Structure 1
């Protein structure tokens, strides 16, 4: 019996910041679009909170920071947030891709995207890969994988701001190995560009009502 081919698609961008306010202000300055009123919530299990911005159907931008009101978790936080200096500037640190079969996708990938963990925020439930040390794979260029268990995707509840991802440019010394990993999990999107480079980097080109803007 032939196995069903895996299909993985871009789900959201991750901007890390020392505080949620600083991250939201950075996104607003870069894109020229307000993130108010804040839409997001708390991740109690990992001691973080977030704010979201729509980038179109099934895709969004997440600003995430350590929640100063939350208890310190008994494990490393995700997205390498425990290693952020107190004065760390906001930056595009990572991206997440969704799949309908996260167990099969993790098993198929030659680059480990992390351990599958259950998460919950408000009415949302999902499974996501998180490395044991909290650091994103390949300096953030290899996406974390997510499987939404809730009926509605978070982007469906976000107000329209006229922003869309035009291109996500990713650079890494192991670009060939990353390409193989993406092919193994069925990740293909014309907006995602992977390049060979000496150092890892992420850069998103976002169309806005004011024209194309850059997040990096």
Structure 2
């Protein structure tokens, strides 16, 4: 007898199918009937699990965020020197971007940039990523003069946004990254973040 699929497995299939369709053809242009057909479930299950198409969209925004991976990786960064913790953070974030390009294209699409509800949700998540990243800096070992919490969160937001823009530009150009090039780029961003242009010139 075939094993019955769990509720969570069905929800995940719906989320994945909806993400693919919303990203490729747009949120408004996609129907719940198309989503149901793509993941082989009854259309009514979408409404049962998520309420409506907009609620499904917001569930996608929350469920595929980097915050989930960051919270899972955080413990592995503890006790590392700060530069190494930041480097590992950067590698994790770039890996997330590559694995979730459909998600990135969706939330930064012109259609959703004009959606106030989605924009508010995205900004909340960005703030939480900055806060979680700031906590990461608290766990990393560092020389005397630990920056205050606000500066830590700003620094992590700067690093995340820098890597996002770098990734989007690379994706747009269609150029393949040479082996080791991304790692070297992250190291340079970490160095700049920790030491700054002025300190670098004075040393």
Q: Same fold (TM over 0.5)?
A: no
Which has more helix, going by share of residues? 2
TM-score, normalised by the number of residues in structure 2? 0.21
Q: Which has the higher strand share?
A: 1
